[in-house]
Chains A and B, each alone.
Chain A
């Protein structure tokens, strides 16, 4: 019985929506900060620093103060997040 050729481990999907170990919440952008980061007021209360996700950068989706955005927050560092959607 022939062996299926081993072609390396499956590549992780670079899709924010399937990224593990993140929490999704929504918030409002308060302020643009240097290096395309933004201060975001979460609906749940805290203010956190978020950068713009890779897919949003690729499609030049601009973020302005006042926008409602969806954020993924790492479970390892709740101070920082990634903006994955502009409403």
Chain B
């Protein structure tokens, strides 16, 4: 069931999103060759807990049999999502997707970015840019009166016109008092289909993009989800509220709201 939020609830969700973003900022400042993903995890956890929040992923089960052990997901190179932080050090040329979730005053926020570690290949750089551009296009389509399919189609259009591929095994989702709420927000779809976006709906929009056409598998740890053929993958995400005045990107700093104008042109 889709849960719409009142204005006051959206204000609290914006607070939760701010805590989450500050944890991401701490991680962003630390990403460098030689840093382990466990160290990034500790930074994020400190940032969330010191602000009175609770890491949303830690202990989360979802569809997996084993609870997720970390505060953030660190998905390196061919891992699309849900990589488990450990003692692996980042290496120059890696791309690492960091996904952080926070509960704060009863509400959840969800945010992901993909970072280049040092200098990366031209293809990796373009993959990240296109993924971010597709998220911006998806956010721009999150207008009251539109449908979920409009968001999906906007993302798909950007990614496929740039020659990359969209992961279909995982989807974005509604978010609020629960981490995963209805509706599902696929990154492929037809405009004009799906549930109508009403003011007060909050979505985690999260394109997952790969360099080649491939399936995504889940390793025996129950979480780590790499591409089956080793293709590079990027994943970015914002928590976005639908309002009468247009999309409100809760997890973005006010001066860094992704705009579709940021889409790269060939």
Closest to B62 in A: A4
A44: interface (CB < 8 Å): no
Contact (Cβ within 8 A) B184 A6: yes
- Binary interface encoding of chain A residues 1-24 relative to chain B, with 1 for a CB under 8 A from any of its CBs, else 0: 111111000000000000000000
Contact residues of B between 87 and 102, Cβ < 8 Å to A: 99, 101
Contact (Cβ within 8 A) B184 A1: no
Number of A residues, CB within 8 Å of B: 6
Number of B residues, CB within 8 Å of A: 26
B241 to chain A, nearest CB (A): 18
A3 to chain B, nearest CB (A): 4
B85 to chain A, nearest CB (A): 13
A contacts with B: majority SS: loop
Contact among A1, A5, A6 with B110 in the assembled complex (CB-CB below 8 Å): A1
Contact (Cβ within 8 A) A1 B171: no
B28 to chain A, nearest CB (A): 18
- Binary interface encoding of chain B residues 47-71 relative to chain A, with 1 for a CB under 8 A from any of its CBs, else 0: 0000000001100101100001000
Contact (Cβ within 8 A) B206 A2: yes
B180: interface (CB < 8 Å): yes
Contact (Cβ within 8 A) A1 B81: yes
Residues in A with CB closer than 8 Å to B76 are none
B244: interface (CB < 8 Å): no
Residues in B with CB closer than 8 Å to A5 are 168-171, 184, 186
CA A3 – CA B235 in complex, angstroms? 13
Identify 11 residue pairs between A and B in the complex whose beta-carbon atoms are under 8 Å apart, listed by A's number: A1-B68, A1-B73, A1-B99, A2-B99, A3-B171, A3-B172, A3-B184, A4-B169, A5-B168, A5-B171, A5-B184
Residues of A in contact with B (beta carbons under 8 Å apart): 1-6
Nearest 3 pairs of A and B residues by beta carbon = A2-B170, A4-B63, A3-B173
Known: A1-B73, A1-B180. 18 other contacts (CB 8 A): A1-B60, A1-B68, A1-B81, A2-B99, A2-B171, A2-B172, A2-B235, A2-B237, A3-B62, A3-B171, A3-B173, A3-B180, A3-B184, A4-B62, A4-B63, A4-B169, A4-B170, A5-B184
